[in-house]
Amino acid sequence: MARMRAVDAAAAVLAKEGITVLFGVPGAAINPLYSALKKHGGFEHFLARHVEGASHMAEGYTRTHAGNIGVCLGTSGPAGTDMITGLYSAMGDSIPILCVTGQAPRAQLHKESFQAVDIETIAKPVTKWAVMVREPELVPRVFQQAFHVMRSGRPGPVLIDLPFDVQMAEIEFDIDTYAPLPIYKPSATPAQAAKAVQMLNAAQRPVLVAGGGIFSADASDKLQAFAELTGVPVIPTLMGWGVIPDNHPLQIGMVGLQTSQRYGNASLLASDFVMGIGNRWANRHTGSIGVYTKARTFVHIDVEPTQIGRVFGPDFGIASDAGFALDLMLEAAKALKAAGTLRDRSAWAAECRARKGEPSMQRKTHFDQTPLKPQRVYEEMNQAFGPDTRYVSTIGLSQIAAAQFLHVSKPRSWINAGQAGPLGWTVSAALGVVAARPTEEVVAISGDYDFQFMIEELAVGAQFKLPYIHILVNNAYLGLIRQSQRGFDMDYCVQLGFDNINAPDTNGYGVDHVAVTQGLGCKAIRVHRPEEIQPAIAQARAWIKTFRVPVVIEFILERVTNISMGTDIDAINEFEEMAQHGADAPTAITLLD
């Protein structure tokens, strides 16, 4: 046993739990913990410009690898409330991050003291666990429990609030004998796995819906092996995109109202059996439940028992870690194959592949006009970026179009804030991704509004040499909201363009993103014409090698382009391109069951 400050014990526990990277903003109430981190050593700290940005950096860091846990630090009061959006985003997507806040001394609580807020209560709805540590002796054990909670069952975020005097108090603690707590994850039983495989085997036209829980379980290889053994086609969700390569013969496209392909929706509608693994039946994936479930049998496998039946009741549910369930289902399917009773799915898989290759199921991308159409930008990105690229995006028409047109080949190569979709997430999350994967090519994708929300975080990339390419598609509009307002016959409060008196060459598009980016210590280039796209990407790569900072490529788009989407997966509105500047005529494309 050794006598030390409570924060020294906390720093030692962080190290024992494998934490080496931290994101945060120091302040008076969290300075004791910072002093312990400095004293202990072995931590790399990235100083954010906004605490919300730090929380999203922690998210990006976690999302790159199944074993990572991003840690975000901030002082008391508004620093804690700034973290809430990051906690919400992490909670919605089952991402374990640890947020640690300083707090006023215990004697000042509930007295309206400066920057003393009940962050424990505020954070509870958006965390797996939020706790203020009221006794110094509890500090190391609360940190130990935090890692156990984050990693067990359905992963998720934790917030620990540390009053100043609790941090500074001396305690007895033996770090040499410390060990992380065992992680608990539920597992399917052999009987459950056998029944699920039997139900799949009995179906005529089965599909697998693969969600982000497969990444949490680090089980992409098992999912692909199960699909290949059974011959059953795979539909990744947005959060599961990359679980099987886009060009794999059993990957038949994504399904949904927005981030989907026409052939993916058509194949789901033609199926009679759906096995969901590590997914949550998100509403942007399913649309109306009546359409999605009609004439289909469902098996749902999820690590969180209360997720099964939350959206609709499946015909059979299994509470299990995706990896554990896939291990057992692989064994059950192998037994059927050995007995000669595993059904041949080659004809059904070929039917789905035929849809995927059918020209009428493709959306047009090759447009030559100026201003650019966004579809052309994504077409050129597919040519420029290879299977090792990691894409980062969050929300808006930029993200929806990216999911419709880009290609992803590897697990965790599409990093997206799926449930929350907070504007401003992309820059910060991309920096967290680069901090975790400094030698890999990272490409972020934003519309102009998402980019402007937390643009200051680019300075973090410049200061700490976190290079990546940021694709900025600029139409000077809140494009997704503008498209949504079509239902109200209005275009109201969504235009971002203005005549910039300091940058007349922005031609009414408003903010000079190139100048702002350069002012923050990064590099930027503006693209107007299709023939400039590939040279710009080549220039960005050269700058990254030379300067090791983020590089922004701004694409000036036509002001209005409607992107395919709808209210049900059998009634997606496609848009026939009619004119250069976005006079898009909607065409309802109905996909029949």
For 403-461, the pLDDT digits (tens) are 999 999 999 999 999 888 899 999 999 999 999 999 999 999 999 999 999 999 999 99
The C-alpha R_g of the chain, in whole angstroms, comes to 25
Q: In what order do the strands lie in the sheet with 414-416?
A: 414-416, 390-393, 442-447, 469-474, 551-556, 523-527
pLDDT band for position 66 (cuts 50, 70, 90)? confident
- Do 509 and 540 sit in the same domain of this protein? yes
**CA-CA distance, 447 to 473, in Å (whole number)?**
5
Q: Is 355 left (phi over 0), alpha (psi -120 to 50) or beta?
A: alpha
* Contact residues for 505 (Cβ-Cβ < 8 A; gap 6+): none
- Do 506 and 483 sit in the same domain of this protein? yes
| Residue 478 is among the residues annotated as catalytic for this protein | yes
Give the number of other CB atoms < 10 A from CB of residue 263: 23
| Residue 481 is among the residues annotated as catalytic for this protein | yes
- Of 125, 155, 177, the residue that ends a domain is 177
- Do 416 and 549 sit in the same domain of this protein? yes
Give the number of other CB atoms < 10 A from CB of residue 148: 17
Structure tokens at 306: 């209360």
CA atoms within 13 A on the CB side of 581: 1
- Do 342 and 443 sit in the same domain of this protein? no
344, part of any domain = yes
The answer on pLDDT for 266 being more than 70 is yes
Domain count, the chain: 3
CA–CA distance from 66 to each of 132, 215, 280, 419 (Å)?
28, 7, 19, 19
Mean pLDDT, the chain, integer: 93
**CA-CA distance, 279 to 297, in Å (whole number)?**
16
- Do 90 and 170 sit in the same domain of this protein? yes
Give the number of other CB atoms < 10 A from CB of residue 88: 20
71, part of any domain = yes
| Residue 25 is among the residues annotated as catalytic for this protein | yes
Structure tokens at 303: 């690590």
Q: Which residue has the higher pLDDT, 148 or 77?
A: 148
- Do 411 and 516 sit in the same domain of this protein? yes
CA–CA distance from 518 to each of 44, 281, 390 (Å)?
26, 42, 24
Structure tokens at 523: 């590099």
Q: State the pLDDT at residue 576.
A: 63
Max CA pair span of the chain: 76
The answer on pLDDT for 316 being more than 80 is yes
Question: Can you tell me the mean pLDDT for 239-262?
Answer: 96
The pairing of beta strand 585-590 with beta strand 571-576: antiparallel
CA 203 distance to own-chain centroid: 33
581, part of any domain = no
Structure tokens at 323: 């990896």
448, part of any domain = yes
**CA-CA distance, 158 to 136, in Å (whole number)?**
19
Q: Which of 291, 481, 494, 496 is catalytic?
A: 481
pLDDT band for position 478 (cuts 50, 70, 90)? confident
Q: State the pLDDT at residue 586.
A: 38
- Do 218 and 299 sit in the same domain of this protein? yes
Find the CATH number of the domain harbouring 277.
3.40.50.1220
Q: State the pLDDT at residue 593.
A: 29
Question: Can you tell me the mean pLDDT for 524-546?
Answer: 97
pLDDT band for position 379 (cuts 50, 70, 90)? very high
- Do 125 and 83 sit in the same domain of this protein? yes
pTM of the complete model: 0.93
CA 2 distance to own-chain centroid: 42
Question: Can you tell me the mean pLDDT for 229-248?
Answer: 97
The answer on pLDDT for 173 being more than 70 is yes
Q: State the pLDDT at residue 439.
A: 94
- Do 346 and 370 sit in the same domain of this protein? no
99, part of any domain = yes
Q: Which residue has the higher pLDDT, 76 or 45?
A: 45
- Beta bridge partners of residue 553, listed in sequence order: 471, 525
The answer on pLDDT for 585 being more than 60 is no
Q: Which of 7, 13, 30, 51 is catalytic?
A: 51
User: Which domain range does residue 77 map to?
Assistant: 2-177
Question: Can you tell me the mean pLDDT for 20-32?
Answer: 96
| Residue 51 is among the residues annotated as catalytic for this protein | yes
Find the CATH number of the domain harbouring 115.
3.40.50.970
Q: Is 421 left (phi over 0), alpha (psi -120 to 50) or beta?
A: left
Percent of the chain whose pLDDT exceeds 70: 97
User: Counting Cβ atoms within 10 Å, is residue 388 exposed (0-12), middle (13-18) or buried (19+)?
Assistant: exposed
Tell me the three state secondary structure of residue 408: coil
Q: State the pLDDT at residue 406.
A: 97
576, part of any domain = no
- Do 339 and 376 sit in the same domain of this protein? no
Q: Could you read off the pLDDT of 4-18 as tens digits, one per residue? A: 999 999 999 999 999
- Do 289 and 233 sit in the same domain of this protein? yes
The answer on pLDDT for 25 being more than 70 is yes
- Do 123 and 161 sit in the same domain of this protein? yes
| Residue 98 is among the residues annotated as catalytic for this protein | no
Q: Which of 7, 21, 25, 326 is catalytic?
A: 25
Q: Which of 107-111, 240-244, 540-544, 554-558 has the lowest mean pLDDT?
A: 107-111
Q: State the pLDDT at residue 289.
A: 96
Q: Which of 97, 214, 336, 478 is catalytic?
A: 478
Angle (CA) 26-38-177 rounded to 5° is 120
Q: Which of 33, 95, 208, 423 is catalytic?
A: 423
112, part of any domain = yes
